[in-house]
A = this chain, B = another copy of it.
């Protein structure tokens, strides 16, 4: 705390000021909900109050919030949730029998047979069993132990929890955590908050944002000069970059982690969001296929969520993590740590259960479930293709294919005059660009600087979530804006 802050004690100003508050929290940045979003909300209010704008609605393509963009929830999921919330509905004939069976099973596992009771801190046991079975099936039979599953409040919660276990040290012994650049800013925010050292490794934009182990090695070697690298975070499929890692690449990463003695964190929340000929490989599966030398040593935590994929159930804050090769004493510490928050929301746990244990072919909800699921995923695949195609027709926008996840992260060429103007206004050039887009077109994106990018390059992240016709219009308006903007500043 600064001298000024300590003296502040006598002057009877506020106890808590920018100067006296936790400096780690001050350092936290979170672009996905930053000043652009604040302005977008304000514009929405102004429109509602009758203000005239060059647009009639604000389109929030800044955040992966599928249902806010009109995606319909899966009927089966919501029926089971309604039954769990209000079990008198078990008498209602309009609910298919399998929804009732699921609801009854979960309720029987709840204290007092109510989703209003706390669960065990690690999550409801039968749900953890279902998660383990799901993982086994997904990974072609690689065993999964329900004791290694922790249900969480979305994936963010679990990610922060594991990072919290890993941090420590001071000065040159501080824990370093490797994250991709571009990254999802939860990681940088959590590392700032926890006082850990962020170690950047750059994805290769020229090769579809692929990950090169040479770059990992460069990053870790440089970092060893000033911290102790202990963890490597991977997001696959990538956010914001939309790449899907090949099996070979994952194997290389695992080998690297073992060599460099790093704890692996695999953020796999987009595991069902894989388009065209790409295929998702889980880190867990590849790890086990590499044989006991790896599968019995490399420490891995992998994360999933109810918020993405075909579900898009962000508001329920459901998720899980699986921990592999965790030291049993550390695992006890992890269980203790999560117990302080008592448990994750039961509705989110129930939803996670339905995701990992969806209707089976012989169950009444199967047909409609499969139809709804397929519709969402095929729409996303189409939107991924559309986005790449349209953007790549615009001079000054270059866009890698969206192989997975639900974002595009195109590179934009900005005229030097625009860069100078941004500097004058003390904002990042791509923030300047996105703010202009928002004011002129009502489209809210996130500037690339919020995710990190190579110096001198500029990007934005846009979700591909708007309905197809709207997405087409949005892509066209961004393209037109880009041309206009480039002209204005050249």
Q: Which residues of A are in contact with B by a Cβ distance under 8 Å?
A: 1, 6, 9, 12, 14-18, 20-23, 25-26, 28-30, 32-33, 41, 63, 65-71, 73, 78-79, 81-83, 85-86, 89, 92, 110-112, 114-121, 153-154, 156-157, 164-169, 173, 185-186, 189-190, 193, 228, 230-231, 261-263, 297, 299, 311-317, 325-327, 329-330, 333, 336-337, 339-348
Cβ–Cβ contact A329 & B33, under 8 A = no
Contacts of A30 in B (CB 8 A): 336, 339-340
| Given A28-B336, A312-B116: A15 and B154 interface contact (C-beta under 8 Å) | no
From B70, B154, B297, contact of A112 by CB (8 A): B70
- Whether B21 contacts A330 by the Cβ 8 Å rule is yes
CB contacts (< 8 Å) of A330 on chain B: these are 14, 16-18, 21
Interface contact A116-B315, CB-CB below 8 Å? yes
Besides A14-B326, A153-B345, 5 other A-B contacts (C-beta < 8 A): A15-B230, A15-B262, A16-B230, A17-B330, A117-B315
Would you mind naming 13 contact pairs between A and B with Cβ atoms under 8 Å apart? A15-B230, A15-B261, A16-B263, A17-B329, A18-B327, A18-B329, A21-B330, A73-B114, A82-B85, A85-B347, A153-B341, A185-B340, A315-B343
A188 to B17, CA, bound (A): 24
Q: What separation, in Å, do the CA atoms of A173 and B231 have in the docked complex?
A: 31
Contacts of A16 in B (CB 8 A): 165-166, 230, 263, 299, 326-327, 330
- Known contacts: A15-B262, A22-B165, A25-B165. The answer to whether A317 contacts B345 by CB under 8 A is yes
Is B68's CB under 8 angstroms from A112's CB? yes
Cα distance, A396 to B92, chains bound together (Å) = 55
Contact A337 B28 (CB under 8 A): yes
**CB <8 Å contact, A345 and B14:** no
How far, in angstroms, from A343 to B6 measured CA to CA in the complex?
34
Chain B nearest CB, measured from A9 CB (Å): 6
**Residue from the list B22, B70, B71, B329 in contact with A164, Cβ < 8 A:** B22
Contacts of A82 in B (CB 8 A): 82-83, 85-86, 89
Report how far A173 CA is from B17 CA in the complex, Å: 16
Q: Given A262-B15, A340-B30, is A316 in contact with B347 using a C-beta cutoff of 8 Å?
A: yes
B92 touches A86 (CB 8 A): no
Assembly CA distance A355 to B474 (angstroms): 41
Which residues of B have CB within 8 Å of A154?
341-342
Indicate if the CB atoms of B12 and A261 lie closer than 8 Å: yes
Q: How many Å lie between the Cα of A41 and that of B116 in the bound state?
A: 19
A230 to B21, CA, bound (A): 10
**Chain B residues closer than 8 Å to A312, beta-carbon distance:** 116
Given contact pairs A65-B118, A333-B26, A156 touches B15 in the complex (Cβ within 8 A): no
Give complex CA distance A349, B468 in Å. Answer: 31
Task: Provide the bound-state CA to CA distance between A120 and B40, in Å.
Answer: 12
Asked if residues A25 and B337 are in contact (CB atoms below 8 Å), the reply is yes
Would you give the shortest CB distance from A11 to chain B, in whole angstroms?
A: 9
Residues in chain B near residue A89, CB distance under 8 A:
82, 89
Residue of B nearest to A301 (CB): B16
Interface contact B316-A342, CB-CB below 8 Å: no
| Nearest Cβ on chain B to A108's Cβ, whole angstroms | 13
Q: Are A340 and B228 in contact (CB under 8 A)?
A: no
In the complex, the chain B residue whose C-beta lies closest to that of A263 is B15
Measured CA separation A92–B337 after assembly (Å): 43
Q: Report the bound CA distance from A20 to B175 in whole Å.
A: 10
Name the B residues within 8 Å of A167 (CB-CB): 22
In the bound complex, residues from chain B placing their C-beta under 8 Å from that of A189 are 340
A480 to chain B, nearest CB (A): 27
Q: Are A156 and B299 in contact (CB under 8 A)?
A: no
In whole angstroms, what is the CA distance A164 to B164 when docked?
A: 14
Determine if B114 and A341 form an interchain contact, defined as CB atoms under 8 angstroms apart. Answer: no
A14's nearest neighbour on chain B, judged by CB, is B327
Q: Are A317 and B344 in contact (CB under 8 A)?
A: yes
A287 to B65, CA, bound (A): 41
| Distance to closest chain B CB from A64 (angstroms) | 9
Q: Are A21 and B166 in contact (CB under 8 A)?
A: yes
> How many angstroms between the C-alpha atoms of A63 and B443 in the bound complex?
48
- State the Cβ distance, A10 to closest chain B Cβ, in Å: 8
Q: Measured between C-beta atoms, what is the minimum distance from A331 to chain B in Å?
A: 10
CA distance A189 to B263 in the complex (A): 25
